Amino acid sequence: MPRIPSLLLAVCLLAGSAGAAFALDENIATRETNIRVETVAQGLKHPWGLAFLPDGNMLVTERPGFLRIVTPKGKIGNAIYGVPQVDARSQGGLLDVALDPDFAENRFVYLTYSEKGDAPENKNKNGTAVARGRLTESMSPQLKDVEVIFRQQPKEASTNHFGSRLVFDREGHLFVTLGERQQEKFRGQAQDLSSHLGKVVRIWPDGSVPEDNPFVDKEGALPEIWSYGHRNPQGAALNPETGKLWENEHGPRGGDEINIPEPGKNYGWPVVSNGVNYNGTPVGTGKKSAPGMEDPHYQWTPSIGASGMAFYTGDAIPEWKGNLFVGGLAIPSLRRLTLDGDKVLTDEPLLETLGLRIRDVRQGPDGALYLLTDEEEGQILRITKAE
């Protein structure tokens, strides 16, 4: 990627380590415009989710189990008391965060996390859970009245593929993306409507089930399910033009997907895939598509490790207005997708030379793009138009 003369401040916080973090203040040339990439905050332990508070501060999750407030100037607050206990192993821990649409009135914050099993038969098992609590207004904020509003069923003995993105739609429904827990013995549950594994679910903010969910009246099906046949959906966002949910998910070796999940539809995993298993063997039938299963809206082969997703609607970078952004983990990068309606026209990789795994992507109240880097010394990056 070409660069304008760099202002890079190469301050290595973990000298000699693969996860070293550098404070950035750099101008980079892209196809449409020149951008400035700067570090807002650093020293976060594998930050996973970000939500902007009405006052411009950021709520940020760290995978080991901490929720913190970070100011626009990069001051990182103490861990907020009241966060549920998490099973922080491998890909598990404290994951996404979202504010209630009526946060200004009710102060509700929603968290996804890997929850340990509490029954004897669930020893060493875990699953994705969603909790909500009220964020207090004080110098030392806490989460109060915390309750679990959703638990993935069943819990399984795995430390991977929790999915976990949270998205509210315009009617106030809460979508939660759920992974299929990776191991081959669990894969088939992505096609099983009596399991939450490998699903997108749709609930009300209190955890109750909307009456118009597609499987509410289907015997043996879990009523929260919206769509199924997903692998590990780690990015999701609401399209501001249509109000529809978009999600992205990891394939195995190849076949990362973007989907626009519709109620009751089957998205194929593990029967069909554009990728292959990690050992090179075919997935399922070995085919890319099958009758009754939805083809991906867009796919990446080789896999980019698709993660956080955001539609850009701001004016700070007018050349990017209407574009879709997706973080890359396996190929550390930020992907900029141009759209014509729902059709993806172009796919530009950005920030590849920085070598940083992009976990989350959000648009800030100032119109800038904000990124979380999934590192031991993780950062919050801000992207603006270069002057």
Residue in 46, 161, 196, 250 annotated catalytic: 161
Q: Which long-range contacts (CB under 8 A, 24 or more apart) does 26-29 make?
A: 27/3, 27/386, 28/1, 28/3, 28/4, 28/350, 28/351, 28/386, 29/1, 29/2, 29/3, 29/4
**Which tokens belong to 135?**
């964020």
Query: What was the pLDDT predicted at 13?
Result: 33
For 45, which DSSP code? S
Query: What was the pLDDT predicted at 10?
Result: 37
Closest residue by Cα to residue 383 from 37, 41, 71, 39:
37
Query: Which stretches of 142-191 are assigned E, i.e. beta strand?
Result: 143-151, 166-168, 174-178
CA distance 116 to 100: 25
CA distance 119 to 98: 29
161 annotated active-site? yes
Domain limits of the chain? 25-385
Query: What was the pLDDT predicted at 21?
Result: 56
Query: How confident is the prediction along the chain (387 residues), in pLDDT tens digits per residue?
Result: 344 334 333 333 333 333 445 799 999 999 999 999 999 999 999 999 999 999 999 999 999 999 999 999 999 999 999 999 999 999 999 999 999 999 999 999 999 999 999 878 778 899 999 999 999 998 899 999 999 999 999 999 999 999 999 999 999 999 999 999 999 999 999 999 999 999 999 999 999 999 999 999 999 999 999 999 999 999 999 999 999 999 999 999 999 999 999 999 999 999 999 999 999 999 999 999 999 999 999 999 999 999 999 999 999 999 999 999 999 999 999 999 999 999 999 999 999 999 999 999 999 999 999 999 999 999 999 999 998
What are the C-alpha distances in Å from 369 to residues 146, 164, 176, 385?
Answer: 30, 21, 23, 10
This prediction's pTM: 0.94
What is the residue type of 134? R
CATH topology of domain 25-385: Neuraminidase (2.120.10)
What are the C-alpha distances in Å from 238 to residues 12, 165, 170?
Answer: 37, 12, 9
Alpha helices in the chain (DSSP H): 103-106, 184-187
Query: What was the pLDDT predicted at 118?
Result: 85
Report the first-to-last Cα separation within the chain, whole angstroms.
19
